[in-house]
A and B are shown apart, each in its own frame.
Chain A
Amino acid sequence: MTRIANLLLPMLLLAASPAFAHAFLKNSTPPVGSDVPVSPKAVIIDFTEGVEPAFSTIEVQNAQGKRVDDGHPHLVNGNQARLAVNLPKLPPGTYRVTWHATSVDTHKTQGTFRFTVSP
């Protein structure tokens, strides 16, 4: 233990780079698995860490597998941990959101969830 601690502690103390990590979904609008009464204007995902918008995507598909978002994922108000994609007015139905995130330290993650626009 002593040898390992002696080896690691100096490196830990000297490591001055900022700490980032895998970016996973923390919250979303609309919420994961939710039923919403009206069509949302956008899908907004809050990640646990900052993401690189150029290498991160959100895609929304309807029940027939057709993409319905505007195809331009973007950061919200410059918040690097909040990515959004705009939506047209959606008819009632279930929609599938697929996201791919590359965190600012290049860790790659992905995920999917659904939400439903109630009739």
Chain B
Amino acid sequence: MPRRQTLAAIAAAVVTFTTHHAFAHAVAGARIFVNTDLIDDPGVSDEANLPLISLTSPDGKTWVTDANLEYDKTITPSLGFAVGTDWDFIAHDMMDGGKTHAGFDDTYVQLKYRWIVLPEHEFISAVEVTQVFGRAGTVGIESGYDTTSVSGFFGKGLGDIPWAPIRPFAVTGELDYNMPDTGPMGGGATTYWSGGLTLQYSIPYLQSQIKNVGITGFAANLTPLIELGWSSTAGSSAVPGISPPTTLLLGTGATWTGTYQAINAEILWPLNGAAGHGLGVIAQYHLYFDDLFPNTIGKPISEW
């Protein structure tokens, strides 16, 4: 198997959830859908990942450190684009004799449209197109083929549920259809589905909407969360052995949301062998440009 295809297989199994996403924040009424790590949130905004870092192992011996950098810019209040890339450090690559590799992974651009916000119901939804440039990184690290993805997102806060104890919860979801190119450089890659769900419990929401229970300091801004990431092939590959496997990955952690920034950290739990071996970790530092610089780089290019 060509080297970049072996690395592509690693990437498909492990890095699928940690790349090519705009890990943004979204607001619908009193609800903030916080930054999560395995899936994107349903909003568009001006912000940046500086960076999002994950450490995972596809086989228990090879360790992949992925650092994602992304910049999100609003064109209008409902339409935004993003550009991002990843830098990977692959230690003890067991698919290449235990060697260590480092370099830039694929670069991607995204166009996202938030088509509905219902503040009273804390509901928001968006659609997105992503183009991944798989030949723009470091040979041996990049995937070697381009991928076009279409995605749908939703977020729903449970604040309109009459039973108060459940109202701090919110769910978000993402579903992607990914289409790698099928030319010679595609290496037989096949279309695949990916996506996931998050369940978030907002302490800020609890204390500002339901009952101030006296939590103060750092904990008052925490949103504990659990998320499930998933990917699965949507077709058959022309080259046996390199079809994206079905992966299931669980993340548990919390997001601390400040006025101008957010920090998220999660433990990653592979739920099947294709999603990795052993626990991984993922964390991100996030800047909200729309709140930091609302009159310059943090506002939409057009208010239309």
A binds B: yes
* Contact status A17-B208, CB under 8 Å: no
What's the tally of chain A residues with a CB closer than 8 Å to chain B?
32
- Taking the complex as formed, is B295 at the interface, i.e. its CB lies under 8 A from any CB of chain A? yes
Residues of B within 8 A of A107 (CB): 27, 290-291, 294
Judge whether A32 and B210 touch: CB under 8 Å.
Answer: yes
- A49 within 8 A of partner (CB): yes
With contacts A20-B294, A32-B209 known, is A111 near B259, CB below 8 A? no
| Per-residue A-contact encoding for B57-101, CB less than 8 Å = 1, 0 else | 000000000000101000000000001010100000000000000
Q: At the interface, yes or no: B302 with Cβ under 8 Å from chain A?
A: no
Interface residues of B in 230-262 (CB under 8 A from A): 259-260
B contacts with A, residue count (CB < 8 A): 30
Is the beta-carbon distance between B71 and A4 smaller than 8 angstroms?
yes
Say yes or no: is B115 at the interface (Cβ < 8 Å to chain A).
Answer: no
Q: Is the CB of A112 within 8 A of B260?
A: no
Smallest beta-carbon distance A14→chain B, Å: 8
Does B30 belong to the interface (CB within 8 Å)? yes
- CB–CB A22/B208 < 8 A: no
Contact of A75 with B by CB under 8 A:
no
**Smallest beta-carbon distance B14→chain A, Å:** 21
Residues of A within 8 A of B (CB): 1, 4, 7-8, 11-12, 14-15, 17, 19-22, 24-28, 31-34, 48-49, 105-107, 109-113
Point out residues on B near A: beta carbons under 8 Å: 27, 29-30, 32, 48, 51, 69, 71, 83, 85, 87, 119, 204, 207-212, 259-260, 288, 290-297
The 6 closest A-B pairs by CB, nearest first: A33-B211, A21-B291, A111-B30, A105-B294, A17-B295, A25-B208
A-B contact pairs, 12 of them (CB 8 A): A4-B71, A12-B297, A19-B260, A20-B291, A21-B294, A25-B208, A25-B209, A33-B211, A34-B211, A49-B259, A113-B209, A113-B210
